[in-house]
Amino acid sequence: MTRSRAFAYALALLTTGLSAPALAHPHVFVVVKSELVFNAQGLVSGVRHAWTFDEMYSAFATTGINADGKPASAEQLQPLAEQNVGDLAEFGYFTVLKAPGQKIELGAPEAISMSESDKKLVTLRFTVPLKKPASAGKVLTLQVYDPTYFVSFDFDKNGVALVSAPSGCSLSVTQPKSLDDTESQKLSEAFFSGLSPGADFGIKLASRALVACP
């Protein structure tokens, strides 16, 4: 398995149904910064992501790229970035947008890049355009999550922003409710067995950004 495929494999492993050795669950941790981009008509036209991966997985992803121990360059990481984003297409880039009365579909990603910081953390950046711009006139919600919770996505402290939004738009981020005893036990069992706790588990642990524009 190539490194690029292995990287995407970790993001989508349980969704694809592939077998794997028992691993703690979740296995990959991602800090998310997302921007909702508005067009000149005041509609949401895309989502701009920056996903920073945990130290362990960042080290795995960049193994062998730069022998001198310095952070890999954007040029060195570009093929990996493009392969990873491409492999996530069938999973909707773990990006879920909803608005009342609107069917929101995502287009092909743009502005794909990857960087490695001095702290050796890898950040994947890409923009997902909407096939048809969506209105936030009532309320529009954004969530970033892996349904199986194999990958843990958490918004940064200031992890959601509005770009070129009309005057008067509001933004709030709500945290998920605490799991009940049954769900907590199910997650604990999945942690020790390396299995998915269920196809709907990720949404229960996902933060939700809500945008409303006048």
For the segment 31-51, the average pLDDT, to the nearest whole number, is 97
Q: Read off the pLDDT of residues 124-166 as tens digits, 9 standing for 90 and up.
A: 999 999 999 999 999 999 999 988 777 889 998 889 999 999 9
Given a cut of 70, is residue 38 above it in pLDDT?
yes
User: What band does 208 get if pLDDT is binned at 50, 70 and 90?
Assistant: very high
Q: Read off the pLDDT of residues 65-98 as tens digits, 9 standing for 90 and up.
A: 876 778 899 999 999 899 889 988 888 999 999 9
Average pLDDT, the chain: 81
Q: Which residue ranges make up each domain of the chain? A: 3-212
Q: How far is CA 169 from CA 56, 75, 101, 125, 190, in A?
A: 38, 37, 19, 25, 40
For the segment 30-48, the average pLDDT, to the nearest whole number, is 97
11 touches 28 (CB < 8 A) = yes
pLDDT at 87: 87
